[in-house]
Structure 1
Amino acid sequence: MKPRASFIFLTLLLSAIWTLTLRAEPATDFSRFEKTIAAYEESDRAAPPPKGAILFTGASHIRRWTTLAQDFPQHQVINRGFGGSEIREATHFAPRIIFPYAPKTIYFRSGGNELWNKKRTAEEAFADFKEFVTTVHAKLPDTDIIYISNIRSLARASQDDLLKTMNTLIADYVRGKPHLRYIDVFDLMTDSSGQLRPECFVEDRLHLSPAGYKLLTAKVAADMGR
C-alpha cells in the first residue's frame, strides 16, 4: 500500500474508532436505587398488595404523589415510583416492582431526567419507552400501559423542545395500538395565556404542588373513566 493511501486509510480508521468511542453508552448504575427497591419488596412481604390493581410507576412525579389512594378511592392503587429514575431503570426493575402485582393497568411517568442530564436524546428515550412496553407486555400481555407525558416546568424550561419531541414520538407510537394509551399533560400547568402557573409547583419550581396534583388527578381520572 502506498504511503499516501496508508495515511488516508489510517486516518479513516482512527476517525471511525473515535466516533464509536463518542457514541459508546455509559453503563447504567442500577444499584443506586437498590435500597429503594428493596424497601418496596420488604413492604410487600409485610403487606402484599392486591393482584390486578392499578400501578403507578416512574420518576419523582409519581414518587411524590403521596395522595394516590385518596385521589382515586374507587380503585386499588399501588405507588412504585422512585425519584430521579429513568425509563431504563423502570424496565430493569420491572421483575421486582411490576410483575409481582400483575397490575391490570400501569400509569407510567418517566423520561425527563435522562433528557435533562443529557444521558439520552429524545429519540433514545423513546426507544427506551418501547423497550419498557416490550418487556412488560412479554410478561403481562393484557396489561394496559398509559404513558403520562412529560410536563413543562419552571425549573427546566430550556428542555421544553426535547420534551415535546419525545412526547410526540410516544403519542404517535401508541396511537391505535391495543393496551397502550397516552395522556397529554405537557401544558397542564399553564394559564389561558400559555404561561406556567407558579402555584402548581413547589419551591424547587420542578415538582408539583397540591394544586398541580389536583390538575393531574383530574386528567388521570378522566382516562380511568373512559
Structure 2
Amino acid sequence: MRQLLIAGLTLWALTANSRLNAEPPSPFARWEKAISSFENQDEKAPPPQGANLFVGSSSIRLWDLKESFPRHTTINRGFGGSQIADSVHFADRLILKHRPSTIVFYAGDNNIAKGKSPEQVSQDFASFVKVIREELPETKIIYVAIKPSISRWKLSETMQQANKLIKAQCDKSDRLVFVDVFPPMLGDDGKPRPELFLKDGLHLNRKGYEIWAKLINPHLSKPAPEKKSAAK
C-alpha cells in the first residue's frame, strides 16, 4: 500500500512539474485557423501581386471590397477580433508574400476595447509599419482611423487620442496615409450616426462602408483600365 502511495505521489509530482515547465499557449494561437484558411485560399487561387491589400479586424473582414472598389484589384485579409499586434505577428503569411502596392489597415478599435492606452496603440502601429517597411519599403500604408461607434462611444476620447498619435506618425512620411473616418460618421449631435451601423452598434452597414470607400478610394493604387469592346 505504501509503495502504491509513493508511486502515486511520484506520478503526480512529475505531472505537476511537466505542467510548470510547459510553455504557455501563444496569444496568437486563436487565429491559426483563420490564417490557415487564407493560406488554403491562396493555394487554390493565388492573388496577384501589386494589389490593394486590406487587413485588420472585423471592419475589414465584413467589407465587400468588390462592391466598394469594382475597378481595383483588392485582397481581403481581415480577421475579426484582431488587434494590431496580430497583424504584425502574421505579416509574413498575410501580407508580405502578396507584395501589395498598397495596404489598407484598420485595427486599434479592439486594442482600446481591451484596455490599451493611446500610446500603446501608437507604438503597435509603429511596429506594424516597421515590419512592412523592412520587406516592402515602397508600399503605401493607409491607416483608417479608429472609428466612432454606438457600442463603444464611452471609449471615444481614448480612441481620438490614439488617432491623433497615429496621424502624427503618418504625417512624417509620404508613404503613410491617415484616413480620418471619425468626423463624417458623427451626426449633428456629435454622436455616431445610427444609420451607418448594423444592429450591434459596432459594425458598419453598407452606408457606413460607402463613407469609408469614398475617403479611401483616392489613395488606392491606380485601377485597371477598362477593357474596350472589340470593334465588329
Q: 1:106 aligns with which of 103, 107, 121?
A: 103
Summarize the alignment of residues 82-97 of structure 1 with structure 2, pairs less than 5 Å apart. Answer: 82-97=79-94
Q: 1:59 aligns with which of 43, 57, 60?
A: 57
What's 2:30 paired with? 32
How many residue pairs were aligned?
199
Q: 1:154-195 CA distances to partner (integer Å, 9 max, x unpaired)?
A: 000110011001000010111041311100011222223423
The corresponding residue for 1:21 is none
Q: Secondary structure at the match of 2:183?
A: coil
Counterparts of 1:65-214 in structure 2, within 5 Å, are: 65=63, 67-118=64-115, 120-214=116-210
Structure label with greater radius of gyration: 2
Residue 9 of structure 1 is matched in structure 2 by: none
The 5-angstrom pairing of residues 208-223 of structure 1 reads: 208-223=204-219
TM-score (norm 2): 0.82
Question: Contact 1:149–1:184 (CA<8 Å) still a contact in 2?
Answer: yes
Identity of aligned residues (%): 39
Taking the aligned partners of 2:178 and 2:205, their CA distance within structure 1 comes to 23
For structure 2, the residue ranges without an aligned partner over 5 or more in a row are 1-23, 223-232
In structure 2, the residue corresponding to 1:218 is in which secondary structure? helix
SS in 1 for 2:208: helix
- Note if contact 1:59-1:84 (Cα within 8 Å) is conserved in structure 2: yes
Which is bigger in relative contact order (C-alpha 8 A, separation at least 6)? 2
Q: What is the TM-score normalised by the length of structure 1?
A: 0.84
Query: 1:114 deviation in Å?
Result: 1.5
Which whole-Å CA distance do the structure 2 matches of 1:42 and 1:53 have between them?
Answer: 19
Give the equivalent residue in structure 1 for 2:47: 49
State the superposition RMSD in angstroms: 1.7
Query: Aligned-pair distance for 1:225?
Result: 8.0
Aligned residue type for 1:114 = N
Contact 1:99/1:139 (8 A) holds in 2: yes
- What is the CA-CA distance between 1:199 and the residue it aligns to? 1.1
In structure 1, the gaps of 5 or more residues are 1-25
Instruction: Check the 8 A contact 1:60/1:81 in 2, yes or no.
Output: yes
- What's the CA shift string for 1:132-162, capped at 9, x where partnerless? 0000110111100110000000000110011
What corresponds to 1:13 in structure 2? none
CA contact (8 A) 1:151 1:188 kept: no
